[in-house]
């Protein structure tokens, strides 16, 4: 008799505990600095404008993330806790959704838990989960959509409501920051490609075949195409009340022309600007804060965890090779999807007409790198390797703990203390 199939247990309890630990870590010194820092100086006035509905500011970005920051101010006051609390919430959601996505994509407990470890300690998510910027909201909504889409493919009986949630999340991601747009179209394109490859004679109307049995292409287009656009458009409701300086407010199309012109203007050079190849090799850091504040010298540094970012590149190469090798027999869709996400999210900044770019534009690609490292380490463990997997796990965690003071604005002993973490010229 053949052995019964293996049914790994859902790691949702461990996923929840990892997310809870991350949330508690984010709360450490959350209200320090007690004054706005880095890009909070742009987004907090924009959030306050949502509350008074008089004049729009920061018009170059869509409005949803600023509305969420405004909700924090309305609930908890116009002070550091109110500014940053929803960043913590959505950062925790992003971490949890990343683990659930890999669980449904790979059906491997170890890969899901390792994703939690590498994402939580990659520095990119942690820093942005503690500051009132737009990026963490965009990433959280995209990962929520990825979770729902992967689960719909795995559990077809839940596909309808999951794709509905995914569609709403995709619309919210685009309405938080335009960086999400190239990734937001991927689920719909993936469904179209899969149904096309299934060879159905009635491509649009057939409910048979991969990737979701019982759902037609037109219905998938509704959830993954029309719903995101409607949700995106609905978030522009404040513009019904706002005075928009420099814009002819005659409709969404004209408003978007104005937004695009602001996005593509050439600003003054910035000391922390960098290029995409700097991000890939983890070469250029950004100091979000480094000054005497709240009674002590403090700093907040944005750079990728060296273990995760450098070894993650090797892991991403492994994912590409594995995806290619498995394309005919048993495709590793989890590996293929991560490679596509990495290429698309990085490729945006290779072609984008934005003159000044920064390391935080690597946020999405860095999340894909972290998940790729989890899949690679899980595979090494399956092969019986022990030394390398444990070195990578403990290395990523150890670097996170070593960097923790400079990720959380801990008081420093000396103005030159930044040299403990700024090992290279590009990190200074």
- Across the range 12-31, mean pLDDT stands at 98
| Res. 255 pLDDT band, cuts 50 70 90 | confident
The pLDDT of 118-126, averaged and rounded, is: 98
Mean pLDDT calculated for residue range 283-302: 95
Is residue 2 in a domain?
no
Residue 264, domain member (yes or no): no
Predicted local confidence at residue 77, as pLDDT: 96
Is 362 part of a structural domain of the chain? yes
CB neighbour list of residue 117: distance below 8 Å, 6 or more residues apart = 18, 374, 393, 396, 397
The number of domains in the chain is 1
Answer whether residue 210 is part of any domain: yes
How far is C-alpha 109 from the chain's CA centre? 21
* Structural domain of 364: 12-246+274-427
Q: In this prediction, what percent of the chain has a pLDDT beyond 70?
A: 96
Q: Mean pLDDT throughout 78-106?
A: 97
Confidence of residue 207 (pLDDT cuts 50, 70, 90): confident
Whether residue 7 lies inside any domain: the answer is no
Please check whether residue 122 is in contact with residue 304, taking contact to mean a CB–CB distance below 8 angstroms. Answer: yes
Question: What are all long-range contacts of 303-306, with beta carbons under 8 Å and residues at least 24 apart?
Answer: 303/123, 303/359, 303/427, 304/122, 304/123, 304/124, 304/359, 304/362, 304/366, 304/369, 305/121, 305/122, 305/123, 305/396, 305/399, 305/400, 305/403, 306/282, 306/399
Please give the pLDDT value at position 2: 58
Q: What are phi and psi of 193, to 5 degrees?
A: -65, -40
Range of 89-103, 324-338, 414-428 with top mean pLDDT: 89-103
**Res 256: pLDDT:** 84
Residue 376 lies in a domain: yes
pLDDT for 6 equals 63
pLDDT at 12 over 90: yes
Judge whether residue 232 has pLDDT over 70. yes
**What would the pLDDT profile of 130-155 be if each residue is shown by its tens digit?**
999 999 999 999 999 999 999 999 99
At 302, the pLDDT band (50, 70, 90 cuts) reads very high
pLDDT band with cut points at 50, 70 and 90 for residue 73: very high
The average pLDDT across 265-281 equals 84
Q: Where are the alpha helices (DSSP H) in 198-305?
A: 217-221, 227-234, 252-263, 276-280
| Structural domain includes residue 267 | no
**Which has the minimum average pLDDT: 168-177, 247-256, 312-321, 382-391?**
247-256
For residue 258, the model assigns a pLDDT of 84
Q: How far is residue 212's CA from residue 224's CA, in Å, rounded to a whole number?
A: 13
Residue 231: both structure tokens together: 């949700």
Average confidence score pLDDT of the chain: 92
Q: Is 60 exceeded by the pLDDT of residue 3?
A: no
**Does the residue 261 lie in any domain?**
no
Q: Convert the pLDDT of each residue in 54-65 to its tens digit.
A: 988 888 899 999
Residue bearing tokens 């458009």: 233
> Which of 95-109, 146-160, 270-284, 378-392 has the lowest average pLDDT?
270-284
Q: What's residue 266's pLDDT?
A: 67
Residue 179: CA count within 13 A, CB half-sphere: 27
Token pair, residue 5, equals 């199939």
């Amino acid at each position: 008799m053949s052995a019964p199939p293996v049914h790994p247990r859902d790691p949702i309890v461990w996923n929840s505990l990892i997310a809870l630990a991350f949330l508690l870590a984010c709360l450490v010194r959350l209200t320090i600095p007690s004054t706005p820092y880095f890009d909070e100086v742009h987004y907090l006035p924009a959030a306050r404008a949502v509350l008074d509905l008089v004049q729009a500011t920061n018009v170059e970005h869509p409005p949803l993330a600023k509305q969420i920051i405004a909700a924090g101010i309305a609930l908890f006051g116009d002070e550091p806790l109110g500014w940053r609390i929803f960043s913590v919430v959505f950062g925790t959601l992003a971490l949890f959704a990343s683990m659930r996505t890999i669980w449904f994509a790979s059906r491997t407990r170890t890969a899901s838990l390792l994703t939690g470890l590498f994402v939580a300690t990659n520095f990119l998510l942690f820093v942005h989960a503690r500051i009132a910027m737009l990026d963490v909201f965009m990433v959280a909504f995209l990962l929520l959509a990825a979770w729902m889409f992967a689960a719909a493919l795995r559990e077809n009986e839940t596909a309808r409501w999951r794709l509905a949630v995914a569609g709403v999340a995709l619309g919210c991601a685009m309405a938080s920051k335009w960086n999400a747009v190239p990734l937001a179209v991927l689920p719909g394109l993936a469904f179209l490609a899969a149904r096309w490859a299934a060879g159905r004679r009635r491509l649009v109307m057939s409910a048979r075949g991969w990737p979701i049995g019982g759902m037609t292409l037109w219905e998938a287009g509704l959830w993954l195409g029309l719903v995101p656009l409607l949700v995106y458009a609905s978030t522009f409701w404040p513009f019904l009340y706002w005075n928009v300086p420099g814009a002819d407010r005659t409709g969404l199309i004209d408003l978007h022309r104005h937004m695009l012109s602001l996005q593509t203007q050439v600003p003054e050079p910035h000391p922390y600007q960098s290029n995409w190849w700097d991000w890939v090799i983890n070469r250029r850091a950004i100091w979000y804060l480094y000054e005497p504040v709240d009674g002590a010298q403090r700093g907040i540094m944005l750079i990728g965890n060296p273990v995760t970012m450098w070894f993650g590149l090797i892991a991403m190469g492994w994912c590409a090779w594995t995806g290619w090798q498995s394309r005919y027999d048993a495709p590793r869709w989890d590996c293929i999807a991560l490679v596509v996400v990495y290429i698309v999210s990085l490729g945006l900044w290779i072609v984008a007409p934005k003159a000044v770019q920064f390391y935080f534009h690597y946020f999405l690609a860095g999340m894909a790198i972290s998940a790729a490292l989890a899949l690679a380490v899980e595979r090494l463990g399956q092969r019986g390797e022990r030394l390398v997997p444990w070195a990578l796990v403990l290395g990523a965690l150890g670097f996170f703990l070593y960097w923790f003071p400079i990720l959380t604005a801990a008081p420093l002993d000396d103005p030159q203390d930044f040299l403990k973490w700024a090992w290279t010229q590009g990190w200074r």
